Chains A and B, each alone.
Chain A
Amino acid sequence: MSETLLSLQSISASTAGREILKSVSIEVRLGEFFSLLGPSGCGKTTLLRIIAGFLQANQGKILWCGNDATHLPPQRRDLNLVFQNYALFSHLNVFENVAFGLRMQKLPEDLVVSRVAEALSLVRMNQHASRPVTELSGGQQQRVALARAVAPRPKLVLLDEPLGALDLQLRKEMQWELKTLQRQLGMTFLYVTHDQEEAFAMSDRIAILNAGRLEQVASPEELYSRPASRFVAQFIGTANFIPAEKTSLNHARCLNSNHHFLLHETNTEELPENYPINGDILVRPEQIILKKKQSEELKSLSGVVQMRQFLGATVRYHVELQGNQKRTLTIDQSSAGHEPIAAGEHVSMLIKNPSSSFFTEMRLT
């Protein structure tokens, strides 16, 4: 495990009596691409502003390479921010915008020039150095903002939904570029977004925030296959919850079929005498194999196709699960060699890799 660069310890924040962050603790490692992901209003921007030093947490500590940095003013933190609206200095041209941080460090002019040239070529903007920033397109302004943030070579670059204002095509390109840039520079990036795909495409690790609380910190793969909560399961990708009962610490069984699941290790404080526990098992759309129902196959999940959508690489089915609880499942089948099943047909479902997460009855939070 690599060295910890930034450590947030039980950060709480509130404004006007409303709690925005509830005891959030996160460790960001040196050199990683780390994302803060959550729906709008989850407190991720507040957390970012606390890290940058524009806001003070009501409680908690910020450690920077092990040293207390909770009360350092923004200009003394070794990090730079890429703003959501870029916040370029409109009276300065591209060159002077990128040079600003270096000039504030009072670097000699030849060093400023070479560092700016380096940063601009990283984002492929060196042809535009003398242009006023007001004449640039959104994507170009984005690149300048990025160059301005990395030019002083900070330890950490904070990015506040920097791709939000760009159109889809450009956003995809920029995701690739950002990731490449981060690798090239070997800098630590802390990326704030509400877009799950974006976070997945770039991050080494992701922290999921919901209503000011930290839900889970893990790699994209782990978040997808082993979500720690119902919220994470639903927020990341598409989630199907199938009624099930937990029969032991790491086993569960479907209520309407003989499907058995191996459960991921959870650190619950359940007592053996509590079993079976009612709840839901998480099944991802691509984990299910659909078949036309041949005869009365006992002990298998069955349902009725409600709708079929052709999505290119996959065909998506919405299937109403038969049983005592009405549930609509979303099921993806690879379109290669797939024989379409029409709406209204009865289907049976098989589950691949029956290893998943179990969630007890919906918590009222």
Chain B
Amino acid sequence: MKWWGLPAKIWMSCFILLPFLWLVLLSLQPTAASTSITTFNLHQFSRALTPPYSNIIIDSVAMSFFAALTVLAIAVPVTWSISRMPSKKKHLWLALFTIPLGLNFVVRVYAWFVLFRPEGIFSRALRGFGLDFAFVSSQPGVFVGLIYGYLPIMFLPLYSVFEKMERSQLEAAEDLGANTVQRWWHIILPEIRSGLFASFLFVFVPMLGEYLIPRMIGGGLVATLGTQIEGQFLGSGRPNWPFGAALSICLLIAAATVLFSSFFLLSRKKSEQRARWSIAHLN
């Protein structure tokens, strides 16, 4: 065995494998009070996978998925336009867009709460236009909060994706007769596909476990996987560690499913299949 793999292996066992095993053992405990190490069952999981908890899991996955997609949809054109600027301007703009990351997350999220609570200025302004929209304590509110909170995090990985793209490939496409839409569809998107997936996962996975935004903007009324897990461990009611552990493992499985299915999607090379068909005609 080569010795230089050792640090990684020690790290892996101490900080990932052992805690994870502990979590699994915990989740297999039948009751909150049980301390047995001989009786294990899947009671906590069956509870997690039946309503209302199963619905919360599905809702959380769906909400994080669409919020991450929206973040991507906003960040792509914004980052693209920054990456096309002259280099001096570019760095300034990138810095401006990522400055919010330097602010405390709680402060940023709380600012939304202040603005959008029923007596906040935005809510009052909206009411002035005849729109009575309960932003705080609603699922759409949490959705918007997630988007706002994670947008700055998306800029950096996406920016490096666009920076790595060869500018001359776009000129070549233009030269060969591709218009703007064709350039995006045939060149830019396929070229940055893996970068887009990575950036998506970069915000999707933490969103899935997010509990601060649902707690502050949702005001405890919007239940997500994150808030449920937090409740089971730190909640003011009756903490239930085994159940919290089971929910955590469900979250892990949900994230892993998305991760692996996206890798699967990525490895399928559509263009090659099409080309092979053409090559068959060549000979």
Q: What is the count of residue pairs linking A and B with beta-carbon distances less than 8 angstroms?
A: 95
Question: Which chain A residues numbered 100 to 123 have a C-beta less than 8 Å away from chain B?
Answer: 100-101, 104-105, 109-110, 112-113, 116-117
Stretch at the interface among A84-92, A197-205, A299-307, A324-332: A84-92
B173, A93: Cβ atoms closer than 8 Å: no
Any chain B CB within 8 A of the CB of A52? yes
Partner pick for A96 among B166, B179, B271, CB 8 A cutoff: B271
Closest-CB distance, A106 to chain B (whole angstroms): 10
Any chain A CB within 8 A of the CB of B278? yes
Residue of B nearest to A160 (CB): B168
Count of A residues near B, CB < 8 Å?
Answer: 39
Closest-CB distance, A62 to chain B (whole angstroms): 15
CA gap between A81 and B275 in the complex, in Å: 23
Known: A74-B175, A83-B168, A83-B171. A104 touches B182 (CB 8 A): yes
Residue of A nearest to B169 (CB): A87
Decide if the interface of chain B is mainly helix, strand, loop or mixed: helix
Any chain B CB within 8 A of the CB of A176? no
Partner pick for A91 among B171, B177, B182, B271, CB 8 A cutoff: B271
CA gap between A75 and B186 in the complex, in Å: 15
B176, A130: Cβ atoms closer than 8 Å: no
Closest-CB distance, B182 to chain A (whole angstroms): 7
B271, A100: Cβ atoms closer than 8 Å: no
Known: A74-B174, A87-B169. A113 touches B278 (CB 8 A): yes
B279, A129: Cβ atoms closer than 8 Å: yes
Question: In the complex, what residues of A have CB within 8 A of residue B186's CB?
Answer: 100
Given contact pairs A96-B274, A129-B279, A152-B176, a sample of 17 additional A-B residue pairs in the complex whose CB atoms are under 8 Å apart = A52-B175, A75-B177, A83-B171, A85-B168, A87-B166, A87-B168, A89-B172, A90-B169, A96-B278, A100-B173, A104-B176, A105-B177, A113-B281, A117-B282, A126-B282, A130-B275, A130-B279
Residues of chain B having any CB pair with chain A under 8 Å:
166, 168-169, 171-179, 182, 186-187, 190-191, 193, 271-272, 274-276, 278-279, 281-282
Q: Can you give 26 A-B contacts (C-beta < 8 A)? A: A54-B174, A73-B174, A74-B175, A75-B177, A79-B175, A80-B176, A81-B171, A85-B166, A87-B166, A89-B172, A89-B187, A89-B191, A90-B166, A90-B169, A91-B191, A93-B272, A96-B271, A96-B278, A99-B278, A100-B176, A104-B176, A116-B278, A130-B272, A130-B279, A152-B176, A152-B177
